[in-house]
Structure 1
Amino acid sequence: MNITLSNKPLSTEKADCLVVALPEKGDLPESTRLADEALGGLIKKLQKSGDLSGKNATTLMIPTPGQAWDRLLVVGTGADKNRTPALFRKALIAAVGQLKDGVSRHALFALHDSPVTGDDRASSEAAKLSLIGRTLEDQLYSFNSYKSEKPANSKLNKVTVTASAAGKGLKDAFNLGLATGRGMNFTKDLGNTPPNICHPVWLAEQAKKLAKEHEVIKTEVLDEKQMEKLGMNTILAVGKGSTEPPRFIIMEYRGGKSKDKPHVLVGKGITFDTGGISLKPGEGMDEMKYDMGGSASVLGAMQVIAEVKPRINVVAVIAAAENMPDGGASRPGDIVTTMSGLTVEILNTDAEGRLVLCDALTYVKRFDPASVVDLATLTGACVIALGHHASAVFSNDEGLSEELLAAGERAGDRAWPMPLWDDYQNLLDSNFADMQNIGGRAAGSITAACFLSRFAKDYRWAHLDIAGTAWNSGKAKGSTGRPVPLLVDYLMSHAGK
C-alpha cells in the first residue's frame, strides 16, 4: 500500500475517492467546506434532507462524475466537543472499512482539520495525522499466510492524506503513525501465527530477525542451560512439560545518551497455554496461542522504535515458554526457587504467566531502569472486570500509572487503574513456601499483580494485564495489535528527555 502525505490545495488533488468529515452540528471543517463548494453545496443539501446526519462513524458514498474525484465518501464525526481521539479513530475505521471493500484505487483523506479534544499532544494536527496514518496501516491489515486460496486483494492501493502545511514536524508525526500501525501489524502477525509454528525458539528467531533488519537493535537469546545457571527456575518449571524448549530474549535499543537510564518492557511469551497439569477446558483452547500477546506487543513496539529512532534507551525482555502437560510437567504442590531466591508453591499450573514474569522482573534489575512495564495476557479475571475495552494497569508508582493511562487516552488505546493494596498480599500466603502462585477466586487479577509486585520492589514498575484487549474472539477472531499504540506513546513521551 502506498500511503503518502500531501499539503497541496485540495482543488489540485485528483483521486478516485475524496474522504471528508461531517460533524453532527456546527461549522464544516475547511476541507469539507471546499468539497461542498466544488459540488455546488451537495453536502449541505444532503445534510438538510437528513441523508447525512454527522453521527460518529456513519458513512455515505456519493458518486460525483465529472469532478476531480469520481466519488465522495462523507464520514460522520459526531459533535466537536465530544470528539476524543478514540471516537475520531472510530470514524477513521468506518471510512477505511468502506474503502477497502470498494472499487476505488486511490483515496484522498482530507480529515486533518476535524477538531479533536484533549491536550496539545492529542488534539494537534500532528497528533491527528499520526492517528490517521496508524489507523490506515492497522485497518488495511490481513492475515492469509496459511490459506491455500488467497482472498482477492483490495482494489485500494494508494492513499494520500492531506495536511495544512509542509514541515518536518507534521511529516515526522505522520511517519510515526505509519510506523506504529506497522508495529501493530507485526504484533498481529506474531499472535495469529499458529502455535505449531510459533513456539519459543521461533519467537526468539523473530527477535533475531528484527535485529538483523535494524542495526540499532541488539538481540541476545538465552537457552535452558544459561537460564539454569542464572537460577531462572520458574521459567524452566513452566516449560518442563513441553518438547519445545523455553527461551529468554533480550533486546536493546540505545538511542539516548549513554548515562540515560533505559525504559524496560517485559513481555509474557507463553506461545501456547494448555494450563499444564491444571488443564484448561477444551472449548476455545485454540485461542491460547494468543497467550504470547505480551511478548508480541513488546516486539511490535521495538520495531516502531527501530524505525523512528527516538532519543531514548529501551530494553525489552521476553520470557518464552510453552505450557504443556506431560510426565515431566510441573505439578500442583511443587515448590520452585525463583531467580530472586524467593520460593513459590505452585498450586495451579495454569497460573504460569506470573511464574515466567517473576524471573524476568528479577533479571531486569541489572539495567538500573528508569521504568519497567510488563505486559501479559495474565488473568481471565481481568476480562470479567474490564471486558475487552481497556487494559488493566497496576503499579507501585502513581506517577508511572498516570503516564500510562494518559498515553492510552491520547492513543485511543485505553487502560484503567486497578488497586495494588497490601490488603491483598496475604491471599498469597503459603504454609510451605514464601508464597503460592494463586490467591483464590476473589480478586484474581489483583492477586496476580501482587505476586509480580514482590519481584519489582527496586524500581518504578507497572503491570498491564491485556487479557481482554490483546485479541478478539468470534467472527472477528484475531490479534488486535494492542497495546502497541499505548507503549509507543509512552516511550515517545520520554524521548529526548
Structure 2
Amino acid sequence: MNFEIQKRTLSRIIRDEQDALIVLWPSQLPESLDIANPIVSVVRTAIQHGDFELKAGNVLSLYALAGVKSRQVVVVCTEDSTPAHMRRAIAAAWGALKSVKLKNLGVHALADVSAQALQAAVSALAEASYSYTSTLSKPKPRTLKQVMFSMDTVDAPRREALARAQALVQGVEVAKEWANRPANHATPTLLAQAAQGIAKGAGFKCEVLGVREVTKLGMGAFLAVAQGATEPLKFIVMRYNGAPAAQAPVVLVGKGITFDTGGISIKPAAEMDEMKYDMSGAASVLGVFKALAQIKPAINVVGLIPATENMPSGQAVKPGDVVTSMSGQTIEILNTDAEGRLVLCDALTYAERFKPQAVIDIATLTGACVIALGAVRSGLFSSNDDLAQALQQAGEEAGDACWRMPLDDDYAEGLKTRFADVANVAGRAGGSVTAAKFLQRFASRYPWAHLDIAGTAWRSGAAKGATGRPVALLLTYLLSHTTSKVPGQAAAKTPLKTAGRAKPRRT
C-alpha cells in the first residue's frame, strides 16, 4: 500500500477520480472553508439537525453526492485532531467503507493536522485494512493500493512524517506476518531466512548461527531449551550500520520461541495454539529492521534473535536440571515453561561484545504481566532511568504505550536455590518482576531495558491476530536518538544500580 500527500483544497479534491473519499472534520472549522462546497453544505445541515455530532469517531456516509466524483464519501469527526482522536476517526471511517472494494482512497483534512497525527492516521488505516493471507487456500488480500492524503498546508515535516509512517507500516506488517504464521510455517529456519531477506543492501549484515556455533559459544541455557525439539535452533544476528563504526549500537533482543508447548512442564491444551505468538519479540525485531531499510537513519542497530521451539521429548530438559549459561552462571530449571528467560539470558550475554549504548529485550515473557497491565500497555523494566524514560516517552508518542514496573532487589529473593547460582522461576507472586530480575543478572554491563509484551503482542478470541507491537515504540525510540547519544550511554562504564518504581495468559 502506497501513501502520498499533496497540498490540495477540498474544492479541488472533489473533482478527483477516487473510489472513495474520507473527509476529516474537526470540531472547529477553519474560517477559509468554502461553505458552498457540496460536502460542507450537507454536513452543516446534518449538524444543525443533530444528525452528526462533533465527537471523535462519529461518521456521516454520503453516496453519489452531486458535484463530487467519488461515489463513496465518509465524513468523520476528528474533534481536536490529536493522534488518539485521529486513530479513532480513521478506524470508524474504514468501518463505513470496509464492504467496498477500494483500490485508491482519498483522505482530506479540513484543518491542518500535526505530523504526529498524520502518522497516527496512516498507522490506523493500515491496521484497519490489514488482511492475513499466507496460509489461506482462497485468500482475500487487501485491495487498497493507493492512499492520497491532502490538506491546505503540506510542509517538509509532514512529508517526512508520512515517509516514516509508511516505513513503520511496512515494519508492523512484517511483524504481524511472522507472528500470525502457524508454527509449521514459521520455524527457526524460516525465521532466519526472513531475516536474511530483510537484511540486504548497503549497511546491512545478517549472520545465522547453528547448534555447532551456539555450543562453541557456551550458550548452555539456550541449548537446554532447544534440545527437546526436532527443528534445529537458529541464533540470528542482524546488523544495520547507518552511522560511523565508532558509534556504539543499540541492541534489540527478540525472544524467538516459534512454538511453546511448555516442554516437560507442558501447558494445558486450551488455547495452546496461541503459543505460535511466543516469537512476537523476534517478529518485532524483524519489523524494526524492515522499517530501518526504508528510512536508513544515522544510527547503528543490532538485532539478536535466539530462535527455537520448546518441545517435550525424551531429549527435553527436565525440571530440576542445572545448566551453565554463556555468562558462566549456573541455572536450576525448575519449570521448563519458563523458557523465554533462558534463551534471552544467553543472548543478553552475547550482546556485550557489541559494547552497546543500550540493550532492549522484547519478549512475550509472563502471563503475570497480562494480569498486571492487560492488553493496553506493555510492561517496561529497566535498570537505567534515562533509558526507561526515553522508551516510555517513545511509546506515548507512537501510540504504543508501556508502563514502568519495579525492579527492587527484594524481588530476587525467590530466585535463590541451593543447587545453582539462580533458579529460573520464583513462584506466582510478582511473576513478571521476578522474571525481569532473572534477566537483569545477565545485563549488568550496559544500560538495559526489558519489554514484556505478553499482553500486547496479540489479540485472542474472534479478533485473534498479531498486533505488530512494539515495533512503533522501538522505531520511534531509535529515530529520536539518531543525532544524539542514547540515554544511558555514559552509565555503561560502571555497574548499574537497581531502579524501581511504583499472571494469566500463558507464555
Q: 1:28 aligned to 2:12? A: no
1:102 aligns to what?
Answer: 100
CA RMSD of aligned residues (A): 1.9
1:60 aligns to what?
Answer: 60
Q: 1:274 aligned to 2:272? A: no
1:246 aligns to what?
Answer: 233
Deviation at 1:72, TM superposition (A): 2.5
Partner of residue 370 from structure 1, selected from 336, 345, 357 = 357
Q: Residue deviations 1:202-226, cap 9 Å, x none?
A: 11111111123x3332000111111
Partner of residue 236 from structure 1, selected from 213, 219, 223 = 223
1:483 aligns to what?
Answer: 470
Q: 1:400 aligned to 2:374? A: no
Deviation at 1:136, TM superposition (A): 2.7
Q: TM-score, normalised by structure 2?
A: 0.90
Deviation at 1:19, TM superposition (A): 1.6
Alignment of 1:70-469 (within 5 A): 70-78=71-79, 80=80, 84-102=82-100, 104-111=102-109, 113=111, 125-151=114-140, 156-212=144-200, 214-469=201-456
Mapped partners of 2:259, 2:142: distance in 1: 32
Identity of aligned residues (%): 48
The question of whether the paired residues in 2 share the 8 Å contact of 1:353 and 1:376 is answered with yes
The question of whether the paired residues in 1 share the 8 Å contact of 2:2 and 2:166 is answered with no
Mapped partners of 1:100, 1:114: distance in 2: 26
Mapped partners of 2:437, 2:112: distance in 1: 43
The question of whether the paired residues in 1 share the 8 Å contact of 2:257 and 2:310 is answered with yes
Deviation at 1:306, TM superposition (A): 1.2
| Pair 458,101 (structure 1): closer, same or farther in 2 beyond 3 Å | same
Deviation at 1:9, TM superposition (A): 2.7
| Pair 225,39 (structure 1): closer, same or farther in 2 beyond 3 Å | closer
SS in 2 for 1:41: helix
Q: Aligned residue pairs: how many?
A: 480
- For structure 2, the residue ranges without an aligned partner over 5 or more in a row are 485-507
Deviation at 1:20, TM superposition (A): 2.0
- For structure 1, the residue ranges without an aligned partner over 5 or more in a row are 116-124
1:49 aligns to what?
Answer: 49
Mapped partners of 1:268, 1:155: distance in 2: 33
1:120 aligns to what?
Answer: none
Deviation at 1:304, TM superposition (A): 0.3
Q: 1:17 aligned to 2:6? A: no
* Bigger mean CA deviation after superposition, 33-42 or 460-469: 33-42
| Pair 8,400 (structure 1): closer, same or farther in 2 beyond 3 Å | same
Deviation at 1:349, TM superposition (A): 0.1
Paired residue type of 2:146: K
The question of whether the paired residues in 2 share the 8 Å contact of 1:36 and 1:43 is answered with no
SS in 1 for 2:76: strand
Q: Residue deviations 1:76-97, cap 9 Å, x none?
A: 334x3xx642332122222233
2:488 aligns to what?
Answer: none
Paired residue type of 1:279: I
| Pair 410,30 (structure 1): closer, same or farther in 2 beyond 3 Å | farther
Mapped partners of 1:16, 1:101: distance in 2: 12
* Bigger mean CA deviation after superposition, 4-13 or 360-369: 4-13
Mapped partners of 2:2, 2:404: distance in 1: 39
* Bigger mean CA deviation after superposition, 289-298 or 202-211: 202-211
SS in 1 for 2:306: strand
SS in 2 for 1:43: helix
Deviation at 1:40, TM superposition (A): 5.8
Mapped partners of 1:405, 1:350: distance in 2: 29
| Pair 495,62 (structure 1): closer, same or farther in 2 beyond 3 Å | same
The question of whether the paired residues in 2 share the 8 Å contact of 1:86 and 1:413 is answered with no
Q: Residue deviations 1:294-322, cap 9 Å, x none?
A: 00001101110111000111111111110
Deviation at 1:35, TM superposition (A): 7.1
Mapped partners of 1:340, 1:30: distance in 2: 66
* Bigger mean CA deviation after superposition, 352-361 or 93-102: 93-102
Paired residue type of 2:24: A
Mapped partners of 2:422, 2:131: distance in 1: 44
SS in 2 for 1:196: helix
* Bigger mean CA deviation after superposition, 96-105 or 277-286: 96-105
Mapped partners of 1:443, 1:46: distance in 2: 53
SS in 1 for 2:75: strand
SS in 2 for 1:442: coil
Mapped partners of 1:35, 1:106: distance in 2: 27
Deviation at 1:74, TM superposition (A): 1.5
Mapped partners of 2:241, 2:356: distance in 1: 13
* Bigger mean CA deviation after superposition, 51-60 or 360-369: 51-60
SS in 1 for 2:183: coil
Mapped partners of 1:385, 1:337: distance in 2: 31
Paired residue type of 1:41: S
Mapped partners of 2:30, 2:106: distance in 1: 15
Mapped partners of 1:40, 1:485: distance in 2: 35
Paired residue type of 1:206: A
Mapped partners of 1:242, 1:46: distance in 2: 63
Deviation at 1:201, TM superposition (A): 1.2
| Pair 408,445 (structure 1): closer, same or farther in 2 beyond 3 Å | same
| Pair 47,437 (structure 1): closer, same or farther in 2 beyond 3 Å | same
SS in 2 for 1:328: coil
Mapped partners of 2:473, 2:34: distance in 1: 35
Deviation at 1:66, TM superposition (A): 3.0
Deviation at 1:283, TM superposition (A): 0.4
Q: Residue deviations 1:157-177, cap 9 Å, x none?
A: 432111444544322210110
Q: TM-score, normalised by structure 1?
A: 0.92
| Pair 423,209 (structure 1): closer, same or farther in 2 beyond 3 Å | same
The question of whether the paired residues in 2 share the 8 Å contact of 1:375 and 1:463 is answered with yes
SS in 2 for 1:77: strand
Mapped partners of 1:201, 1:222: distance in 2: 11
Deviation at 1:135, TM superposition (A): 2.6
